[in-house]
Structure 1
Amino acid sequence: MLVGNKTFIRPLEIEDAEAFYQWYNDQEVNLWSSGAWPQNTLLSKGEIEDRFFNPDSDEHRYAILDQQRELIGTIGFREVNIPAQSATLFIVIGNKKYWGHGYGPDALKTFLHFLFDQWNFHRLTLDTWDGNLRAIKAYEKLGFKLEGKLREARFVQGHYHDALIFGMLCSEFTRDS
């Protein structure tokens, strides 16, 4: 288990599927995690299990817990490029009562330590849509740099938005607590 200042990160357990079902069928959670309501939602419990708990998936997905070990979100990486030592990150705080209280940045920083120091990644990227100001602020505060924009690549609530691509190199990661 990875230990942050406010969060713990552990492997997923099948019992987590019920919370995922609630989160990924919640309009507000999906709006901020991907801007894709309802495209990424309306999944059955079986579809949630197949999508997020499939051992053959190329995603490495973990659970985010609070200090009382309550499941509050998920974090992980995909699109691993072994020669380039790079991957794409994702994070969702699905329990809305934890939004805006620093749990996401704490989990992400804890995970960055793990990926740069244990997995030996050289570069990590993540993305969001231009309306997700809370995520943008958190990514920049952690040291991610805006590297690009995919113009009008996201369709959110009836309007096109830019997708923003952020990156961080291992040498740029601040390892202080």
Structure 2
Amino acid sequence: MLKGQKTAIRSLEEDDIDALYKWYNDQEVNLWSSGAWPLNTLLSKDEIAAKFLDGSPDTYRYAILDENDLLIGTIGFKELNIPGQSATLFIVVGNKTYWGKGYGTDALITFARFLFTQWNFHRISLDTWDENIRAIKAYERVGFKIEGRQRKARFVLGNYHDVILMGLLRDEFLALHGK
């Protein structure tokens, strides 16, 4: 288990499925985690279990816990590029009572440190949509920099929005947060 100042990160377990089912079918959680509202699809518990526990060989998903070991979200990476020592991160704080309290930032710092020091990644990236200001600010606190924009690439609530592309290099992260 990885330990941060406010969070811990562990493997996902079967007991997590009920919470994941609730979050991934929640309008507000989906809106801010990916700009995906209306949802592309509503997932059943069996589909959630297959996606999160069985997964795909190129996606790594983990649970985010609070100080009392309560599941509050998920974090992980995909698009692993072994020669380039890079991947794309994703995070969802599904328990809305933890929004805006630094838990997502702490989980990102903890997970980024793990990827840079244990997986020997050189670079990690992520993206969000242009109106997700709270996430952009959290990513910047971790050290991510805006690297680009895909114009009108997400359709959210009847309007097209830009996707904000962000990246973080190992040296930048370690200079900000140490080993």
The TM-score range, normalised by the shorter chain, is: over 0.9
Kept in 1, the 8 Å contact 2:8–2:64? The answer is yes
Kept in 1, the 8 Å contact 2:14–2:53? The answer is yes
Deviations 1:49-75 (A, max 9, x none): 121211543111000000000000000
The alignment partner of 1:33 has SS state of: helix
State the partner residue of 1:92.
Answer: 92
**Letter of the 2:43 counterpart:** L
State the partner residue of 1:136.
Answer: 136
State the partner residue of 2:104.
Answer: 104
Kept in 1, the 8 Å contact 2:38–2:156? The answer is no
Distance in 1 between the 2:25 and 2:38 partners? 8
**RMSD across aligned positions (CA):** 1.2
Distance in 2 between the 1:128 and 1:56 partners? 22
Distance in 2 between the 1:18 and 1:131 partners? 29
Equivalent residues in 2 for 1:16-55 (5 A)?
16-55=16-55
Identity of aligned residues (%): 66
Kept in 2, the 8 Å contact 1:26–1:41? The answer is no
Q: How many residues align?
A: 177
Task: Determine if the alignment matches structure 1 residue 69 to structure 2 residue 69.
Answer: yes
Greater helix content: 2
Distance in 2 between the 1:60 and 1:121 partners? 14
Distance in 2 between the 1:142 and 1:3 partners? 16
The alignment partner of 2:51 has SS state of: helix
Name which of structure 1's ranges 24-33 and 48-57 shifts more when overlaid on structure 2: 48-57
Deviations 1:87-134 (A, max 9, x none): 000000000000000000000000011000000000100000001000
CA 1:44–1:97 in 2, change beyond 3 Å: closer, same or farther?
same
The alignment partner of 1:53 has SS state of: helix
Distance in 2 between the 1:97 and 1:56 partners? 30
| Uncovered stretches (5+) of structure 1, i.e. residues with no partner | none
CA 1:167–1:17 in 2, change beyond 3 Å: closer, same or farther?
same
Give the TM-score normalised by structure 2: 0.96
| Uncovered stretches (5+) of structure 2, i.e. residues with no partner | none
